Structure 1
Amino acid sequence: MKDFDVIIIGGSSAGLSAGMALGRAARNVLIIDSGKPCNQPTPHSHNFFTRDGQTPQEILSIAREQTLKYPSIRLLNGEAIQAKTSEEGFEIKIASGEIFKAKKLILAYGIKDQLPSIPGFAKCWGVSVIHCPYCHGYEYKDQPTGIFANGEIGFELAKLISNWTKNLTVFTNGKFTISAEQEKIIRDNNINIIEDEITAFAHTNGYLNSIRLKNGEEIKLNALYARVPFVQHSDIAQQLGCEVNKPGYIVVEGKQKTTVSGVFACGDNSSGIRSIANAVNSGTLAGVMANLELTEEVFLTRR
């Protein structure tokens, strides 16, 4: 089968949730997944009822099993590399050369983090070098913790993370680019500021031991929060002409609609809230809205 009601690009939490909503609406759905979720290195996932503390892989396995029990859903392991509009809707080409068609398209392929090349950072990413206190903060509460950020982001993270621990240090990896007033607020909250260059993250199997500085100093830490730049996991949105905002997210309305008719986006590629719960919510909504459009297009033409 090459023609579908909906093609979903990305088969992690958002994509599978969209697929389940469409499968339960008896739609023929193709989910194309390259098997590279951005939360893969994370040892535990939180803030998702009934699955709190499980690994993302465990949750994904259950989600796939439950989604694929609907016979109208097909999962294809592959990478979507090309997309274009057609009279019927959309054509998607995958790396093997196969082409699939659909009336609607849901982009759920997530993002790729661009990690700094400092030794040890990548090994710790998602384990003890983390991005979200709501996802991981409880496990590191009241422990020696760092923030790897500068400027306004550094100030905002210092304010936020102070809720979880008072043993806090901001590592700017260079001159701190905030106002004198903001710096005073940070210091008044007994938060250390270190501007020296970081040369390495010492760790044991991804769990931080310390941060090494260029001046030879070594700061013992258990966790470090970092906001790193990212890119979209695919350029399919750009190929189709979907608007992407300045931070790099696909622009969606409240109903997960992109700026291109018939194309929806959900999950990390269109939201800064990086959690399984948010991905599931936005994915379900994208699936519901895609089905609604399909239904209306048929219903309103029967006269």
Structure 2
Amino acid sequence: MLLCGIQKMGLDEGHITLFDEVELGLEPHRITRLIKHIREDKRGQYFLTTHSPTVLRELTIDELYVVHRVGGVTQVIPAAKKGLEQHELQGKVRSSSDAFLAKKIIVCEGATEVGFLRGFDDYQVENKKDPLSYHGVALLDVIGGSKVKPIAKAFKALHYEVSALADGDADDQFSEADARVLRELEIPVFMWSDKLSLEERAFQDVPWEFVLLSLYLARDTLNYSVRDQVLNKFEGNLEKELGHWEDSPELRKAIGIAAKKSNWFKDITRGDLWFKTIKPAFEDAGFAKTDLSIQLTKLWKWVEHV
């Protein structure tokens, strides 16, 4: 900060000043104040480079330019570029600042998907794959299916590589028609078949032993009233001991709905824990043919090859 003050005192009218990685060595509250000082100096022009979401959140879209280098060609895209107004980028700079610093973005409907993919990322690393970070991928929780399409379109308009992971259980939030719009913009969309949510799809697909392990996780670690919540969605009786429950399509359906409605895994930490609980299922040859496994495999191919 002292150095910045000294430099500012020596600036002439019409100066051009570059701050490379303006956030280095500064706490967030000092970054905020520094940018305000810079903005108020009308004697010249400042260029700031940054890899900090804190810096991004302080900027207006008129001040923000996104730099991409692809195939040896550098592009500088103004966030206020004509034609981008429809994407309401200012709000996204505030809410999704981390994603602006990635090369590729997976737009996730909610925190469960983000946590689940974080667990999947760890699983891939254990199997000698390069992590999402190596591929420059950010997982973006848009907090609701209705925001998947507009946010994916906004980042695509700024020339990011974008894909989307969304549930198929609520057409009023995100529908197959919405998915088609994104695919026409070359944004791959990964949705669970049969109009299911992630929870419903997973409990349809994973071997029964991992269904039971998920129930124990929800009851014993996450402290949900699992039996009562499943009974609420199930026409029939259930043993008090979870391990005595018998596999059936009807029970799997009820468990999936209960998990979704009661928010068993509805944050990043719990979504991650849940994936780690069912992770061994990915070694099962039969499970590899299920929609859950197929969609995740397709998503990872996009990560590796785009």
The interval holding the TM-score normalised by the smaller chain is under 0.3
Structure 1 or 2: more helix by fraction: 2
Q: Which has the higher contact order (CA 8 A, sep 6+)?
A: 1
The normalised TM-score by structure 2 is 0.27
The normalised TM-score by structure 1 is 0.27
Larger Rg: 2
Structure 1 or 2: more strand by fraction: 1
